[in-house]
Amino acid sequence: MRLLVFIWVCLFKLSFCLGQDAWELRRNENGIAVYSRKVADASFKEIKVECALPGTPAQLIRIIKDVPHHSDWVYGVKKASILKKKSDYNFIYHTESDMPWPVTDRDLVAENTIHPMDKNGRVTIEIHSLKDYLPETKGFVRVPYSAASWDILPLPENKIKVTYIFRVNPGGAIPAWLVNATIAAGPYNSFMKLREILESGKYK
């Protein structure tokens, strides 16, 4: 029975990998590399950011947990708040994002889970949307699906290596080609802002 389960898991992982294209580099400036790839059965591409930033995993976690200040660095976010704090490392939050005219503004409800640090000092974070957690808000289109992960690894000289992977369906009537054509701008600008905040020492 265990062998059958193992084989099933391996086949599932293989089929998942075969359903995705290779990562394509979309932008590489100031030490921030942004990639995208097409995902099977999805119109919108998945993105990945890889970079080295100043600071420690603990400092970056403090920034991520400071939800009301996400508007300081998350591209397009104009307001963010925590809805429910399950623990210091697990919470549900709500964001409102500005979209360029004539696209309707979006809002998102998501759950953030910060996993314990491993023996190498690595921290991983998982985020997934909760579309129906709140009633939809007038004037906003609720993001129906999003998922993200952070992989944060300490480096020598007080630096961290960050790998961030994100997938979203923004909902509404935004053409997939338009989102995919501009997909690198938001992540790049977010991580530039994130670097500035870490360099400022505000979250030491």
What is the model's pTM?
0.87
The tokens describing 99, both together, are 């979209």
Number of H helices, E strands in the chain: 4, 10
Q: Which tokens is 70 given?
A: 């996400």
Hey, what domains does the chain have and what are their CATH numbers? 27-200 (3.30.530.20)
Residue with the two structure tokens 């004539």: 102
| Cα 137 to Cα 101: distance, rounded to the nearest angstrom | 18
Q: Give the model confidence (pLDDT) of 52-109 as tens digits.
A: 999 999 999 999 999 999 999 999 999 999 999 999 999 999 999 998 878 889 999 9
